[in-house]
Amino acid sequence: MVSRGELSGFKFLDNMLRLFSWTQIRGLMALALMCLTLFGCQTTSDSAAVESKRTYDIASLKSATILSRQNLRFFPSSGQDMSRLTGWAITGTPRLEDGTFDMLALSSGGPDGAFGVGVLNGLSAAGKRPVYEVVTGISTGALIAPFAFIGPKYDYLLKSLYTGKQIEGLIGAPNYFRALAGGALYQPDNLQDLIQTQITRDLMSEIGRLNSQGRRLYVATANLDADELTVWDMTKIASLGDEASLQLFRQIIEAAISIPGAFAPVRIASMSPSGPIEELHGDGAVLANFYVDPDMVPDDAVAKANIEVIIHNQLKPKPEAQKASLVPLLKKSVTSLSRSSMILLLRQAWREAEVRNIPFKYANLPPQWPSVSALDIDRGYMNKTYELGYGLALDGAVWNSVEP
């Protein structure tokens, strides 16, 4: 099951290092030294009090309810029965509108999510886009996933979201002093406004309707307290159809794209047998680049199944000269470790699908494509990245079907 967190520390450090240029890193180091000199290693009693109220163990977490329900999420590390979690053990295999059972996983990758949007829109234009019975998303993939799940109807919105004017100013200006004081580097206001605007009641109604047809949308976040990948059943949440479920849906999307340190984690309330819990959730990419589990495919659909993964990243970057100094080499090393873990996850998913005789293919950015920061929101770059994915999909050249 592709959801392991063994290299999560390296992936977190990689995400943080990718946020800054060398000049910014030097500035942060200088500020950190100044703050340590002036204030020492003090902590406040207020922060200690907050932490003590939020303490819980793994057993409490995994038995906790959300909105008074236990079936709105699961933890892949627990190795649960997929047929039970999807509900198909009771309801049976969903009706296959196009005759095939198709699963799509959308990875992390920040602005390179424009590549995946281009791929999906190119597949639609070429008449080669299946009806996906399962869609999963992590990080930028989580933002794409609800619209990709519904289908080509939202192609125009996704293109606008990743290439239009609204993407400009989405992140805002970093505040290094706030970050060093224990806060986040960026304010979430613009991000929250975007989510409020795009995740509407109408969208929720459409997703809830597809839940009744047996299709499933999953978004993964990282529970930062327990270091647990948490997979949310967004179709079940949407099917509840009330204000509380709409707010939870929006919270999950915000958490899924909130890189720890860059944005404040999202607090999600749950209730354990011993009392209320306030969980901290952030970008699932600190634990896994994508989430896909071939065991989700029902036995009677294996012969008609396909698994597709869109990697918003490069698997084999173009070689380039490196500066022989500490920070650039550290950044390069951690990035390489993160990419290696992504390839291992992809290879593991491939082999698990192979065991069940399920065709598996993946798309990724080519080696010559420039690598950018997870928070480098450049509209010109994203337009070019969108066009790359669109063109490859339209030409039928986007998928790799050999073991990574």
Say which residues have a Cβ less than 8 Å from residue 212's Cβ, sequence separation at least 6: 239
Report how far apart the first and last C-alpha atoms of the chain are (Å, whole number): 17
Residue 153 has pLDDT above 80, yes or no: yes
Q: Give the tens place of pLDDT for each residue, 175-228.
A: 666 656 666 667 778 888 989 999 999 999 999 999 999 999 999 999 999 999
Range of lowest pLDDT (1-10, 82-91, 109-118, 345-354): 1-10
Strand 305-314 to strand 360-365: parallel, antiparallel, or no bridges (unpaired)?
parallel
Contacts 24+ apart (CB under 8 A), 299-304: 300/93, 301/93, 301/96, 301/101, 302/356, 302/357, 302/358, 304/96, 304/99, 304/100, 304/101
- Tell me what pLDDT residue 358 has: 97
- Alpha-carbon distance values, 115 to 238, 375, 382 (Å): 27, 15, 8
Q: Is 96 helix (H, G, I), strand (E, B) or coil?
A: coil
- Tell me what pLDDT residue 244 has: 97
Average of per-residue pLDDT values in the chain: 83
- Tell me what pLDDT residue 46 has: 34
Backbone conformation region of residue 261, classed left if phi is above 0, alpha if psi is from -120 to 50, else beta: left
User: pTM, whole model, 2 decimals?
Assistant: 0.85
Q: Give the tens place of pLDDT for each residue, 274-302.
A: 889 999 999 999 999 999 999 999 999 99
DSSP 41: S
